[in-house]
Amino acid sequence: MEFGIYEVFKLVGALGFFIYGMKVMSEGIQKVAGAKMRSILGAMTSNRFFGVATGLIITCLVQSSSATTVMVVSFVNAGLLSLSESLGVIMGANVGTTITAWLLSLLGFGKMSLAHYALPIIAIGLPMMFLSNPKFKHTAEILIGFALLFMGLEYLKDAVPDIKNNPGMLAFFKDYADMGYASILLFVGVGTLLTVVVQSSSAAMALTIVMCNNGWIPFDVAASMVLGENIGTTITAYLASLIGNVHAKRAARGHFIFNMFGVVWMILIMPFYIEWIDAYLVNEFGVSPLHDTSDYKSIKYALALFHTTFNVLNLAFLIGFVPVIERLVIRMVPSVNDEDEQHHLEFIVGGITATPEISILKAKQEVVHFGKVTYKMHGFMTELISNTDKKQRKVLIEKTAKYEDITDKMEVEIADYLAKVSQVEMSELSSLRVQGILGIITDLERVGDIYYQMSKGMERMLDKGITLREEQRASMVKMLGLMDNAHRIMMSNLANEDDSTVTVDSAVEAEQAINKCRNELRKMHYKTIESEMYEVENSMIYNDLFSRCEKIGDHIINVTEALIGEKD
């Protein structure tokens, strides 16, 4: 059989068909469940065992461990899952992904192949695509993706080169299949490389099952390739985490350690384990996928059994060592203990996720981070008012200027991210949340600007040798204390996971207290000007300071009001 450039394109196209079908189906399921996924994960990951069950169920539903891993990393990035909880979900995802092999083996071949029903399934789903109800549209995506997946598998069966009629390729599998552990390592490498090339362990598994079903590769070779595919799927996640933050990198490392450990212990007992699988199938069904070369059709079932039992046993071995793995990955990927680490976006990394709901959650957590940056600027101003040391005051003024630049960049980056999210179809509620977040980042950026303008006033006083009088400093300390309370209320409201429970009462009280204090300070200031001589510069800057504090209070209350508005 000749396998030229045309055949290569057919094979790549068939793989693309299969992967695209899985992607459409997976994203459709995520859109249907996306809005509720956070509460599901929050309820089901209270301990590592529930986390495992969650990962298993979600992966069985979306038919992609990669999709589950992406969601998990997104939730870790957004601070909705701890590293320990994410490791449990990833472990469960590894077991959940084994359902793919069973689906392909049971439904993808023979007279009952679902590819024969793919067009009727698309015919059912297509009209639903044009309905206005988003749930029907997303359900249509699930149906059409499911049909495309099996159509892709059908094309894949025809596009894979016929190794049996290709002596060169067949010789490779025969000549290198009887070298003991060297053969196992070789074909583990082949499986790893195959998964990295096609960027999908499910597609690599489909290729392996097709070759098994045609009798082109023996059971022991196929099992070794499956082990390699378990490594390959972690490499793709690892590569994706390279542009992520420290949380994403740790989750990817945990995934790699879990799968790699399983492959290592399985390689050590591989000859005995596949003999056990073979003996079980002989006793239960009278077939020997390992020794009866004429009954090659049974290899795909033996392979699915091998894949499932391996992942279940690996889970059983390591479920008790989640804390150990957690400590290990933290040591492998340490945090940068630098004061300026928080000055970079922590949660929005690597582009938008598969569903707008998760992307919005990441943006919301970034807004919480934004609020912490402005609160730190409040701390600088409080210290700047109280401190009389010139050198330390200059350092605080420089820090304030640096942080103001950070707030400008954060506003632009979060707004750009939300603009990309808005290009994806989303629900009306999600659209309102995007508008609310855009309003919040504008207010937070204005808070940063005002603190910077206040610091410039203090800098002018420093340069001209002017200082605040004791009563002025005491008044500003009082005002800044009220603002500190307003900041804390704002941060508490921002950090609230459920915006529907946010109330505006305490925020309004804090803002009214700031307004009242501003009015009192203004009245006292005017009386003092009338009764005694003040330096003009001192008077102007002091008046500017407490007036700007009141403006900051306005922007702080705007943040809570924007959160309340998201519920309407």
Report whether 185 contacts 268 (CB < 8 A): no
φ/ψ of 227, rounded to 5, equals: -60, -45
Torsion angle of the four alpha carbons 48, 54, 56, 59, in this order, in degrees rounded to the nearest 10:
-140
Please tell me the predicted confidence (pLDDT) of residue 90. Answer: 82
Is the pLDDT at 554 greater than 80? The verdict is: yes
- Report pLDDT digits (tens) over 230-254: 888 787 667 656 656 677 678 788 8
Please tell me the predicted confidence (pLDDT) of residue 81. Answer: 67
Is the pLDDT at 460 greater than 80? The verdict is: yes
Please tell me the predicted confidence (pLDDT) of residue 107. Answer: 64
Question: Strand, helix or coil at 399?
Answer: helix
Distances (CA, A) of 20 to 113, 142, 144, 273: 19, 12, 11, 34
Is the pLDDT at 540 greater than 50? The verdict is: yes
Please tell me the predicted confidence (pLDDT) of residue 339. Answer: 43
Please tell me the predicted confidence (pLDDT) of residue 533. Answer: 56
Please tell me the predicted confidence (pLDDT) of residue 213. Answer: 73
Is the pLDDT at 488 greater than 90? The verdict is: yes
Is the pLDDT at 101 greater than 50? The verdict is: yes
Torsion angle of the four alpha carbons 32, 37, 38, 42, in this order, in degrees rounded to the nearest 10:
160
Task: Name every residue whose Cβ is closer than 8 Å to that of residue 309 and which is 6 or more positions away in sequence.
Answer: 277
Domain boundaries, the chain: 5-332, 341-565
Is the pLDDT at 63 greater than 70? The verdict is: no
Is the pLDDT at 151 greater than 70? The verdict is: yes
Let me know if 351 is exposed, middle or buried by CB neighbors in 10 A (0-12, 13-18, 19+): exposed
Report whether 553 contacts 511 (CB < 8 A): yes
Q: Exposure pattern of 155-168 as b/e (b: 16+ CB <10 Å)? A: bbbebbbebeeeee
The CATH superfamily holding the domain 341-565 is: Phosphate transport system protein phou homolog 2; domain 2 (1.20.58.220)
Give a three-class secondary structure readout of 59-113. Answer: HHHHCCHHHHHHHHHHHHHCCCCCHHHHHHHHHHHHHHCCHHHHHHHHHCCCCCC
Question: How many Cα atoms within 13 Å fall on the side-chain side of residue 270?
Answer: 24
| Range of lowest pLDDT (150-154, 333-337, 494-498) | 333-337
What is the mean predicted confidence (pLDDT) over 416-428? 79
* Confidence bin at 565 (pLDDT 50/70/90): confident
What is the mean predicted confidence (pLDDT) over 401-415? 88
Report whether 251 contacts 89 (CB < 8 A): no
Distance in angstroms (rounded) separating the CA atoms of residues 302 and 219: 8
Tell me how many helices (H) and strands (E) the chain has: 20, 0
Look over the chain and give the mean of its residue pLDDT values, rounded to a whole number: 78
Question: Strand, helix or coil at 355?
Answer: coil
Nearest to 291 by CA among 205, 208, 220, 210: 220
Distance in angstroms (rounded) separating the CA atoms of residues 295 and 285: 12
- DSSP states of 404-424: HHHHHHHHHHHHHHHHHHHTS
Question: Strand, helix or coil at 400?
Answer: helix
Please tell me the predicted confidence (pLDDT) of residue 441. Answer: 93
Nearest to 324 by CA among 254, 260, 234, 245: 254
Is the pLDDT at 143 greater than 70? The verdict is: yes
Please tell me the predicted confidence (pLDDT) of residue 567. Answer: 41
Is the pLDDT at 42 greater than 70? The verdict is: no
Distance in angstroms (rounded) separating the CA atoms of residues 504 and 563: 9
What is the mean predicted confidence (pLDDT) over 61-85? 64
Percent of the chain scored above 90 by pLDDT? 15
Is the pLDDT at 46 greater than 70? The verdict is: no
Count CB-CB contacts under 10 A for residue 285: 12
Q: Which residue has the higher pLDDT, 275 or 23?
A: 275
Please tell me the predicted confidence (pLDDT) of residue 79. Answer: 56
What is the mean predicted confidence (pLDDT) over 484-512? 86
